[in-house]
Amino acid sequence: MSEEHMRQYEKDGEQPLKADTKGLEKIERFITELAELELKKQLVNDEIKTLKADYKEGGVAVGLVSRIFAIVRKNRKKTEKEKFHEEVILEWLQESKIVDEACLLLERD
């Protein structure tokens, strides 16, 4: 391996690849485990898609509910300080003439 490649690995904080059997075995195990997890992920995504389709047929606004649920989950992770700052900034922006002008400009497109 060239000196340049070695320096790049050190810079990236990674270990250089070694041309040995153990290194190849580790890579193969990683690929196998990654592929298994990707398959599970696809199965879960398919289940979610089916769930949403079923509830959409039943009259639930699944897109809207899903987006709001994501917001609620995100907000639960925020500290009181973060929530306060967001409220203050939101209030400032809602009262701002600059924001009004920017929104009107963007709505033209």
Among 19-28, 81-90, 99-108, which stretch is predicted with the lowest mean pLDDT?
19-28
**Residue 56 domain flag:** yes
pLDDT for the residue 13: 73
pLDDT in tens, 64-78: 999 999 999 999 999
Domain membership of residue 88 (yes or no) is no
Share of the chain above pLDDT 70, in %: 90
**Residue 62 burial (C-beta neighbours within 10 Å; 0-12, 13-18, 19+):** middle
pTM (2 d.p.): 0.58
37 lies in some domain: yes
CA-to-CA distance for 28 and 22, rounded, in angstroms?
Answer: 10
pLDDT in tens, 17-29: 656 788 899 999 9
Kindly state whether residue 26 falls inside one of the protein's structural domains.
yes
Q: 57 pLDDT exceeds 70?
A: yes
Boundaries of domain holding 20: 3-60
Count of structural domains within the chain = 1
Residue labelled with tokens 């050190």: 10
Residue 81 lies in a domain: no
